Amino acid sequence: MPAKKPLVVVTRKLPDVIETRMMELFDTRLNHDDRPMSKSALIEAVAQADVLVPTVTDRIDASVLSQAGPNLRLIANFGAGVDHIDLATARERGITVTNTPDVLTEDTADMAMALILAVPRRLAEGERLVRSGKWAGWGPTFMMGRRIWGKRLGIIGMGRIGQAVARRARGFGLSVHYHNRRRLHPEIEQELEATYWESLDQMLARMDVISIHCPHTPATYHLLSARRLQLLQPHAYVVNTARGEVIDENALTRMLQKGELAGAGLDVFEHEPAINQKLLDLDNVVLLPHMGSATLEARIDMGEKVLINIKTFADGHSPRDRVLASML
């Protein structure tokens, strides 16, 4: 007699090929409407499921996990970041958490590099002007931005994505600097031609562009605080494709309004999907709807990792992408 298939509840619409395979492998409940689940729906899901497949839009906190049924043993997150999941409570309840690392690196790095180029060269402003029909033609002092070649890029968080951004930045003539919890191996530093700064404050004060690539954890919440943002030079730009909570968004907005920073490129926001109206009113900011990893290839790769994590766990083995206690 075949073993009973685990009940898998998926909280958002996934690529068709992934949903089809999931239906073949498991007893699966899909979210055909592709709307974020309410808290009550999440509680109902964890009470019934053997496996929950959430995304960044789902807050799996202690109040949700406290209602988990005895069968819930795996949260197979669709995404690399797990700051929306209460890992400590999951561990206490004996629930394994997995994620989907490695497959988002190149796409997110592409988006970060695009913003590093777009903000100083005022690409979004120029595009809006053309569409408005108000462009009157070329002029010697019209829409002048700042040159990227020869500038200093400070990367906060030199993991897979940070290193991928560094490789791209070298091709555009940027001088690469970085701050990380741990210094990279000398061979990697040499390959990236990257300069390590033990002091984040000292690095911030000397950079032309800052690109954020660290996860959101209690230690990195408002890592770029109002005090640290004040260390940046007025001609500096801030790019964030990591998590909105890493920046004090109100402080950043005030400085952009006052001209104390040259501009920002943001793919993530502190309270997304809500966006500060004052940010929306600024011309020197490029705002994107959390689309850094939004390629078909990345989404399918993420889904395949979720499938492997569930199948491995269901077969009685430890999933390769298990989120360890050290990430707490």
Catalytic residues: 243, 272, 290
Closest CA relative to residue 223, chosen from 209, 233, 238, 237: 238
| Cβ neighbours of residue 177 closer than 8 Å, sequence gap 6 or more | 152, 153, 154, 155, 194, 195, 196, 197, 203, 206, 207
- What sign results for the dihedral spanned by CA atoms 213, 215, 217, 221? positive
Q: HSE on the CB side for 85, CA within 13 Å?
A: 28
| Cβ neighbours of residue 136 closer than 8 Å, sequence gap 6 or more | none
CB of 210 within 8 A of CB of 263? no
Closest CA relative to residue 260, chosen from 281, 284, 230: 230
d(CA 230, CA 205): 9
